[in-house]
Structure 1
């Protein structure tokens, strides 16, 4: 990993990002975030792609948000095209924290439907955070294509994303509630139930949706 041309102390600090001790890496990222410099950005983004520790990745995101968005956002968008799933996921997560809505157009259908669950989940969260006014219905239509996907944690993430869109998600959910795939119908019904009653809980909504599908109805009259 190429290091910026900094003084000796700074170079040592950046080299610490590759230390085998996660505590050392964490302190190094904190130092960079405390004294932000545009020359750090490429190194921080590159580290996001390979950092194994969640806490350090979160600190990397924090450090990047400490730099000017006009500089970080284009570089983060470039990282969305990486072949490495973690690079895409972390770039999406960081974009959601930066909060620059101009980045929304970079969250493509390909990312929202990425084969890697972590990338897709990060894309859903980022899209919800950055979606401009008026784009909710079209986003909901894409999200609805992912209903029934993955394990419970992934399904919960998608439900939360669609619920965050509010009533703009209802048409897409209603269509999915009549899908030929029972898993899609179950997930759509559960999400629609949670949209109407957020306090119901995901597990309860899923079990209710299973009963509805088993009865051969779509739940739209319940």
Structure 2
């Protein structure tokens, strides 16, 4: 079969077939009566082999090596192709995310588009200092969309850049809550932690609802941070977690302060005091736990906490009794009202 016929039937151009010939990849092995080179059936099968391997992303050099060596093992080559394809898909996904971010910002002209693309490049920089500078010095005519900031918060590992992103997101309002709420449902604990820390700095009922969802998270850092944020907002559903934090000795000072703020409302005081009293009476309340509970009681309204502190002042453990006695004296000397 002559080259023109091969090109027509195979879909490979005559130019590419001649290129294959010059590389020694597929050379016609037959000759016509007139001396023209002719492709045999074996040559045509080889062309289809070449095209099949090209469709997988192999270079012509790799194809030549694979076809020339009968002992060639394709495993490493296929693995390399997988990695390259994953990298390409990642770049394309990043491009798609960037285009969506530009579209969400609703720029009015090309100048606005270019400005937003420049900002997105800055946020995607491998240099933490540049990312932070991008967040802290945005262009006035093209503020970074809240959704972009929220996505950047969820991806940011550097604590300083993350703090700048949360600051910028808080200034942008509640538009990024939906993205952060999706982060709370991530399968990765670190992303959920970042989402909760950012939600804690955003106002509004939607942010509070997302924090309430995080209260039942299996990761301790997530539900503890959510409890502190919810308690600071006056949400009593966080009380059991806050009390448990005091008992466990994790962020117990912050938890006690938040409980003290909640107890400022007389309607909540009895519930909080009952929760603390129940932990004091628990068989597992060792000396360290009783000391932390005594310190938490000191944050409560004096009239409510005085009785429990006096009981602890007579505790069998001398350290507990001494701390409780000091707290009682401090409460008695505290100006009333």
- The equivalent residue for 2:232 is 129
Deviations 1:168-220 (A, max 9, x none): 332221222212222544432221123357xxxxxxxxxxx8x9473598969
Asked if the contact 2:153/2:198 (under 8 Å) is kept, the reply is no
CA RMSD after TM alignment: 3.4
Separation of aligned partners in 2, 1:30 and 1:216:
49
Deviation string, structure 1 residues 28-85 (Cα, Å, up to 9, x no partner): 1124485435xx333322221232322211211122123342x322322222112233
Match of 1:27 among 120, 126, 133: 133
1:186-201 equivalences in 2 (<5 Å) = 186-195=291-300
Whether 1:96 aligns to 2:191 is no
Whether 1:78 and 2:185 are equivalent positions in the alignment is no
| Cα distance in structure 2, aligned partners of 1:28 and 1:150 | 39
Q: Measured at CA, do residues 164 and 83 of structure 1 come closer, stay the same or move farther in structure 2, by a change above 3 Å?
A: farther
**CA separation of 1:150 and 1:187: change in aligned 2, threshold 3 A:** closer
Match of 1:147 among 243, 246, 250: 246
Whether 2:231 is the aligned partner of 1:159: answer: no
Question: Given the superposition, is the C-alpha separation of residues 214 and 150 from structure 1 closer, same or farther in structure 2, using an over 3 Å criterion?
Answer: same
Q: Which has the larger radius of gyration?
A: 2
SS at match of 2:172: coil
Task: Spell out the pairing of 1:176-215 with structure 2 (5 A cutoff).
Answer: 176-181=279-284, 182=286, 183-195=288-300, 212=315, 214=317
Ranges in structure 2 where 5+ consecutive residues have no aligned partner: 1-93, 104-112, 303-311, 329-337
Equivalenced residues, count: 200
Shift of 1:15: 2.0
Alpha-carbon distance between aligned partners in 1 of 2:139 and 2:255, rounded to the nearest angstrom? 31
Structure 1: state its 5+ residue gaps. 198-208
Give the match's secondary structure for 1:195.
coil
Contact 2:151 2:179 in 1 (8 A): no
Deviation string, structure 1 residues 2-51 (Cα, Å, up to 9, x no partner): 212362332132122232322211111124485435xx333322221232
State whether residues 49 and 90 of structure 1, in contact with CA within 8 Å, keep that contact through their aligned partners in structure 2.
yes
- The answer as to 2:102 corresponding to 1:5 is yes
The two structures have a TM-score, normalised by structure 2, of: 0.50
| Structure-2 residue corresponding to 1:171 | 274
* Structure 1 SS opposite 2:298: helix
Indicate the structure whose relative CO is greater, using CA pairs within 8 Å and at least 6 residues apart: 1
In structure 1, how many angstroms separate the alpha carbons of the residues matched to 2:206 and 2:196? 13
Structure-1-length-normalised TM-score: 0.71
